[in-house]
Structure 1
């Protein structure tokens, strides 16, 4: 091969190396750029938040959120059939530990949450936030489902439910049918905050990660 041919071959080889190096660098840049990773993560979080909100909207339309807010055992001071006030129903869906003969309306809400999130490997906690009796501008919380400490990527969705004085508990232990306005301070998690017909305002809050 003459010198000119060798020069062409060398130039071609160097060009191939430069092209490969540039391609490799661009691939690494796409994978490692924080902006790109953040965009993907934000898209996923937005989708999860939308799904959580949709579940709350559907449940409210079916009367399940109100049922959940009233599914309280006034004797044990927990949600009906829950483990305790620390973990609520824990790994079970909300209202999911009811006896086979019982079919609480809020159990459907819990089954949809498990189908939407648990079956896909996501974890969720569920809380009820309500207005404090001592300062209605502040809220207190009670746990419906606790499955762990949320990660830094957790998303939150809420939906508000208004409880009225004449409403009654929906659990099997229904305080003998007495309305909320007649319950003692230790018989329900929330207190009467309004002299009118409103008893309390509850926000159903789901945290998913």
Structure 2
């Protein structure tokens, strides 16, 4: 009788261990849904970071100086590659520093495009930062900056020059009426690197 009780006790203990293992395996199973939830979490974090960075840059007045950081003689941004855009991170402006500080530690890759109207009223896109070809699942955040005729271009150190947009040679043409020169949308495209 005592042997039967011990045998029954051993069977019950084995069942409890097997059930525990079964539930443990169920808890750590990675399904496609789990992976997509993780990607969604990364996308949500990226969206919040991109929006927050552009909002902060707008509030501190750091968007306009980046747009005006233009080298007339080379017809490109100061320090940009021969193709006219930055490839090793953001431009050497306050906005570029903010983008690098926000995305690089999180291993998020970003491109920055400038969207503006040409003389015919068509939307044009000029790259400011190209870090690669984005995949299909990207996050995009935008801010719009109105440029005025009296805005002055910046030199390589970021200081205003004596050249006003209306008198200078700039990538976006003067298409505005009155004091408005053009409206440029800064588009930040980010993805997991």
TM range, normalised to the smaller chain? 0.7 to 0.9
Q: TM-score, normalised by structure 2?
A: 0.82
2:70 and 2:77 in contact (8 A); partners too: yes
Match runs of 1:46-65 below 5 Å:
46-65=44-63
Gaps of 5+ in 1: 97-106
Instruction: Provide Cα deviations, 1:133-191, integer angstroms capped at 9, x if missing partner.
Output: 212xx4212121111112344311111100112222123599x73432234xxx21111
2:114 and 2:127 in contact (8 A); partners too: yes
Aligned length: 188
Task: Give the Cα separation in 2 of the matches to 1:110 and 1:9.
Answer: 67
Gaps of 5+ in 2: none
Q: Which of residues 133, 149, 155 in structure 1 aligns to 2:133?
A: 149
Task: Give the Cα separation in 1 of the matches to 2:56 and 2:19.
Answer: 57
**1:55 Cα shift?**
1.5
Q: Which moved more, 1:13-22 or 1:36-45?
A: 13-22
2:79 aligned with 1:78: no
**1:193 Cα shift?**
1.7
Match runs of 1:106-145 below 5 Å:
107-135=93-121, 138-145=122-129
After the TM superposition, list the runs of 4 or more consecutive aligned residues in structure 1 that deviate by more than 4 angstroms. Answer: 1-5
How much is the aligned-residue C-alpha RMSD, in angstroms?
2.6
